[in-house]
């Protein structure tokens, strides 16, 4: 059985969608933080949002690379 060829035509679209979903999750977590009193949960959500923000930056760089590669 032959391996499937690497098809990257829709990678940029997928990365954009992942960025949008992650930003939406950040916003939802911020809303939760503002509406709860449990300090442990607040701390956990803040930590998770920091990781999400780092992930968004990485995805944005990946999107730039992918976009640049599409036009070569």
* Residue 66 forms part of a structural domain: yes
CA distances from 14 to 20, 27, 38, 40, 56 (A): 10, 20, 35, 33, 13
CA dist., res. 49 & res. 15, Å (int): 18
**Does residue 22 fall inside a structural domain?**
yes
pLDDT of residue 71: 64
pLDDT in tens, 27-42: 999 999 999 999 999 9
Note whether residue 63 is domain-resident.
Answer: yes
Note down the domain range covering 44.
11-70
Average pLDDT, consecutive stretches of 10 residues, N- to C-terminus, the chain (72 residues) = 75 96 98 97 98 98 88 62
What is the number of domains present in the chain? 1
* Residue 2 belongs to some domain of the structure: no
């Amino acid at each position: 059985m032959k391996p499937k060829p690497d098809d990257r035509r829709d990678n940029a679209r997928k990365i954009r969608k992942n960025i949008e979903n992650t930003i939406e999750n950040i916003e939802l977590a911020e809303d939760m933080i503002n509406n709860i009193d449990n300090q442990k949960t607040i701390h956990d959500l803040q930590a998770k949002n920091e990781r999400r923000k780092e992930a968004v930056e990485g995805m944005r760089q990946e999107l730039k690379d992918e976009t640049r590669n599409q036009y070569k």
